[in-house]
């Protein structure tokens, strides 16, 4: 009998089934306004874009955007996009900047992080100096590099020191060199961010594991490649993903340096969109381009996130 009464007491203490679902329902109602707001902020612009991209709407047509269905053209914008050589050329240029700049920024950042992970005299001073480029407004950085790369500018002056005759390279007006100048500006400005993220990751690699590796006879290189780098995997993926996505959006520095020119030699995807939006005013088409880029970036992010969660599971 005693046992039975104990059981009864236990049941009374347990939360009852419908009490639990009651609580859930209350929670749902309480968070509903916030959830609607988030949904509205995140999803509405995308849906609007999707809608506009199915039309031939432009602000000059004289009808408000919500009546754009009057100009419904279905997937024509997308089929046009597929055969738009200027779009694909801009995509390719963006991709080129990405595959040149991201690895260089990564290797420079990693090298700097290796130097800065140990103490040395003047470290704080060097550290602050290194971070300055990151804090410069991109438009200002663009203007700085515009001046640096003039044919009578400091870059050519510097190169002249190492050559017999004065160097007069027209960096920004030579279609094959303008993109190099743009890449140099991006590397200058964004290597510090890479360095900062990688340094944070390197500092968080457990010291005792590194010590354990050394005590087992590991050389510096072995310790670095078997302990430090693998343990930084997650942070490396984050750093690479941030820079990859940011380079897709490269605009202000570049626009000030070259305006996308000469011709279309430095026209990346953002510059192309800007031109189509502001100069050609075909907004339905712009919406289609933007959605296409959104899809590309989402795929990049999804790959990064899945790699990251794998890395996290391995810990």
Partner 1 sequence: MTQIALSNLGKKFGSFTALAQMNLTIGDGEFVALLGPSGCGKSTTMNMIAGMVDPTEGDIRFDDRSILDVPMSRRGVGFVFQNYAIFTHMSVRENLAYGLRAQGVSASERNRRVNAMADLLQLTPMLDRRAAGLSVNILQRLAIGRSAVVEPAIFLLDEPLSNVDAAFRSVMRSELKALQRQFSQTLVYVTHDQLEAMTMADRIAVMDHGKLLQVGTPLEIYNNPQDVFVARFIGSPGMNILEGTIASSDEGKLVDLASAGRSAPLALSDRAASQGLPEKVLFGFRPEQVNPDPNGIMALPVNFVERIGARTILHLGGDGIEAKAVLDNQIAMPSIGDILRFSIDPKMVRLFDPVSGIAIGGDI
Q: Which residues pair with 72 in a beta bridge?
A: 55
Choice from 32, 158, 170, 212 touching partner 1 (CB under 8 A): 212
Choice from 21, 129, 209, 301 touching partner 1 (CB under 8 A): 209
Q: Which residue, chain included where needed, has tokens 């605009």?
A: 251
Residue 222 sits in the site that holds partner 1 (CB under 8 A): yes
Choice from 16, 31, 219, 298 touching partner 1 (CB under 8 A): 219
Choice from 52, 101, 183, 213 touching partner 1 (CB under 8 A): 213
CA distance 43 to 158: 51
Choice from 33, 208, 278, 279 touching partner 1 (CB under 8 A): 208
Q: Which one of the spans 32-40, 119-127, 183-191, 205-213 is the region binding partner 1 (CB under 8 A)? A: 205-213
Query: Least separation, in Å, of the C-beta of 127 and partner 1?
Result: 24
CA distance 156 to 151: 7
Residue 206 sits in the site that holds partner 1 (CB under 8 A): yes
CA distance 259 to 251: 9
- Cβ neighbors of 160 (< 8 A, separation 6 or more) are 166, 167
Choice from 26, 82, 170, 211 touching partner 1 (CB under 8 A): 211
Q: Which one of the spans 20-28, 134-142, 217-225, 281-289 is the region binding partner 1 (CB under 8 A)? A: 217-225
- Dihedrals φ, ψ of 164, to 5°? -70, -50
Nearest CA-CA partner of 101 in 244, 201, 199 = 244
Q: Which one of the spans 89-97, 194-202, 209-217, 278-286 is the region binding partner 1 (CB under 8 A)? A: 209-217
Choose between 86 and 310: whose C-beta lies nearer to partner 1: 310
CA distance 28 to 22: 10
CB contact at 8 A, 182 and 94: no
224-263: contacts with partner 1 (CB under 8 A): 226-227, 230-231, 233
Tokens for 209?
């594991």
Choose between 217 and 263: whose C-beta lies nearer to partner 1: 217
- Torsional sign, CA 11, 16, 20, 23: negative
Tokens for 179?
């993109």
The residues that touch partner 1, with contacts defined as CB under 8 A, are 206, 208-209, 211-219, 222, 226-227, 230-231, 233, 314-315
């Amino acid at each position: 009998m005693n046992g039975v009464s104990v059981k009864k007491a236990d049941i009374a203490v347990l939360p009852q089934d419908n009490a639990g679902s009651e609580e859930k329902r209350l929670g749902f109602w309480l968070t509903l306004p916030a959830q609607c707001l988030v949904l509205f902020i995140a999803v509405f612009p995308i849906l609007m874009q999707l809608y506009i991209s199915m039309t031939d709407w432009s602000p000059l047509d004289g009808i408000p955007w919500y009546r754009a269905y009057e100009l419904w053209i279905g997937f024509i914008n997308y089929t046009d996009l597929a055969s738009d050589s200027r779009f694909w050329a801009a995509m390719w240029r963006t991709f080129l900047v990405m595959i040149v700049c991201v690895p260089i920024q990564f290797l420079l950042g990693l090298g700097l992080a290796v130097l800065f992970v140990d103490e040395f005299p003047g470290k704080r001073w060097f550290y602050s100096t290194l971070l300055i480029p990151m804090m410069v407004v991109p438009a200002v950085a663009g203007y700085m590099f515009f001046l640096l790369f003039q044919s009578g500018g400091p870059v050519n002056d510097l190169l002249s020191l190492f050559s017999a005759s004065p160097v007069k390279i027209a960096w920004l007006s030579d279609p094959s060199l303008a993109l190099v100048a743009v890449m140099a500006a991006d590397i200058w400005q964004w290597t510090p961010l890479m360095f900062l993220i990688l340094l944070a990751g390197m500092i968080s690699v457990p010291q005792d594991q590194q010590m354990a590796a050394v005590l087992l006879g590991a050389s510096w290189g072995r310790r670095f490649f078997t302990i430090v780098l693998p343990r930084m995997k997650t942070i490396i993926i984050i750093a690479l993903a941030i820079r990859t996505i940011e380079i897709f959006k490269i605009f202000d520095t570049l626009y000030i340096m070259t305006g996308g020119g000469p011709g279309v030699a430095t026209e990346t995807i953002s510059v192309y969109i800007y031109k189509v939006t502001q100069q050609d005013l075909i907004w339905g088409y712009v919406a289609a381009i933007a959605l296409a880029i959104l899809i590309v970036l989402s795929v990049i992010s999804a790959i990064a996130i899945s790699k990251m969660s794998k890395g996290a599971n391995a810990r």
